[in-house]
Amino acid sequence: METKVKVEWSRQLRFRGTNAHGKSLVVDATDVDGYPAGVTPMELLLMALGGCTGIDIVTILKKQRQNLTRFAINLTGHRRPEPPRYYERIHIEYVLKGDNLDEKKVQRAIQLSEEKYCSVRAMLAEKARVTSFYRLEKRTES
Tens digit of pLDDT for each residue in 72-101? 999 999 999 999 999 999 999 999 999 999
- What are the structural domain ranges in the chain? 1-39, 41-137
Nearest to 68 by CA among 103, 102, 105, 96: 96
Question: Backbone phi, then psi, for 115, in 5-degree steps?
Answer: -100, -20
Which architecture, in CATH terms, is 41-137?
A: 2-Layer Sandwich (3.30)
Task: Say whether pLDDT at 29 is over 60.
Answer: yes
Q: How far apart are the first and last CA of the chain?
A: 48
Tens digit of pLDDT for each residue in 113-132? 999 999 999 999 999 999 99
